Homo-oligomer: A and B are copies of this chain.
Amino acid sequence: MRTIEWKDGVVITIDQSKLPTEEVMLEFRNCHDIALALKEMKMRGAPLIGVAAAYGLALTAYHSEAKDKETLLRELEESASLLKRTRPTAVNLFWAVDRVMRRAYEVHGDLDDLREAVIKEANRMADEDVKINRAIGKNGAKLLDDGDTVLTHCNAGSLATVDYGTALAVVRSAIEEGKHISVIADETRPKLQGARLTAYELMRDGIPVTLITDNMAGYVMAKGLVDKVIVGADRIVQDAVINKIGTYTVAVLAKEHGIPFYVAAPSSTFDLVRRAEDVIIEERNPEEVTHIGSVRIAPKGVNVLNPAFDITPLKYVDAIIYEGGVLTPSDVERIVQEGKVRP
C-alpha cells in the first residue's frame, strides 16, 4: 500500500503520529487540513511532504467553486503559500509546490483543463516518487555487501515517501538482490520516528531490525556491529546535508570508526544554489522534548532546545545515492561549479 493515495477528490494517508500503537487512516478533502497535518507531522519525510503538498493543491483544484481560471489560480496561489509555511527546512516541499504551480500557469485550456492538469501533475509526482525510490534502491544496493548491518537514523522508509523509501530503499533493494541485510534503527528523539516508524515498517516487511536509543550509536559502532550508515535528507546544499536532528552526531561517529556514511535522497532534495548557513533550521515546540505522549519527563518550565534538523558537512559523507547514480562530495562540488540546482 502507498503511504499517500488520491481517490476522487480525497487524499488518504496513515496518521504517522499514532503509529505503531494505532493504525489510523486520515482522509483529507481540502488543502488546509493537509497543511495542518504537515505541521503536526502526521505526514513527514521530505519526499512524502513534497507529494502531500502537491496533493494539497490538487484538492484545492478539485473542490474549488471558482467560475474561471484566474480565480482558481488565485486560490492555488493561496494554497501554495499556506503549504510553504508549514515546514521551512525540507526543500522538497518548495520544489513540489513550485512544480505544480508552474504546470498550472502553463495550461492553455479552460477551467476544467486547469483542474485536470493540477490533479494529474500531483498524481504524476506520486508515481514518479515510487520509480525514483526504486532507482535509488538499485543504485545504492551496489554499496551493500551480503551480511551487512546498516545503521539508520529517523525514518527514511516507505512511510517517508509514497512507497519503498530512500535510505530503506537501498536496504530493500539489496535484500531483493538476495543479500542478507540487517538494520539497526536509532530511536530518533524527540519524535521517535526510528522506534515508531522504521522499526514498524521493517518488522511489517520481515526485515531484521534492532532498536537502539540514539546515544547507543557510538557503542554499537565500537562493538563492530555496524557496517554502513545510510540516512535520508531533507535538503542537500553546496556544503552539507541537512537531515533529522542527530544525523550529524551519527556522521561524526561513523567517521571516527571508519564506517561508510551514505545519504539516500531524490534529486528533488538537492538545493545546490544554497549553503547550509542560508537554510532555516526549524525549531519546534519544547513539549516534544519535555513530554512523550502526554507523559511529562522533565521539570516544569525547563529551558529546552528543539532544532528539528542538523547540518552534516559533506566531509563526513562518503556518497549521496540518488535516482541518477551515486555522487561523491567532489561530484557535488562539480555540479555546484556548473551552477546547477540539482544533479
Contacts and interface: CB of A to CB of B under 8 A. Distances in A.
A299 B22 CA distance: 10
Interface string A281-309: 00000000110111111111111110100
Interface stretch (A134-142, A162-170, A189-197, A318-326): A189-197
Contact of A210 (B216, B218, B303): B303
A217 B284 CA distance: 17
Contact of A199 (B212, B256, B298, B307): B298
B213 A289 contact: yes
Given A222-B310, A249-B253, A298 B187 contact: yes
Nearest to A244: B215
Contact of A297 (B196, B208, B210, B216): B196
Contact of A217 (B187, B249, B296, B301): B249
Contacts of A301: 203
A248 B252 CA distance: 12
A260 interface: no
A105 interface: no
B195 A219 contact: no
A192 B189 CA distance: 12
Contacts of A187: 189, 289, 297-298
Given A249-B249, A289-B212, A21 B296 contact: yes
A245 B310 contact: no
A252 to B, nearest CB: 5
A216 to B, nearest CB: 6
Contacts of A307: 216, 219
Counting chain B CB atoms within 10 Å of each CB, which of A213, A292, A295 scores highest?
A: A213
A104 B304 CA distance: 49
Nearest to A200: B299
Contacts of A250: 215
A138 to B, nearest CB: 28
Nearest to A288: B213
A214 interface: yes
Counting chain B CB atoms within 10 Å of each CB, which of A20, A290, A302 scores highest?
A: A302
Interface string A36-58: 00000000000000000000000
A279 to B, nearest CB: 14
A189 B218 contact: no
Contacts of A255: 256
Contacts of A246: 213-216, 218
Interface in A179-213: 186-190, 192, 195-196, 199-200, 203, 208-213
A73 interface: no
A213 B189 contact: yes
A186 B210 contact: no
A21 B304 CA distance: 17
A311 interface: yes
Closest 7 CB pairs of A and B: A215-B246, A218-B249, A189-B213, A214-B215, A195-B298, A219-B310, A20-B299
Given A190-B213, A203-B302, A208-B303, 4 more contacts: A20-B300, A210-B305, A216-B305, A222-B311
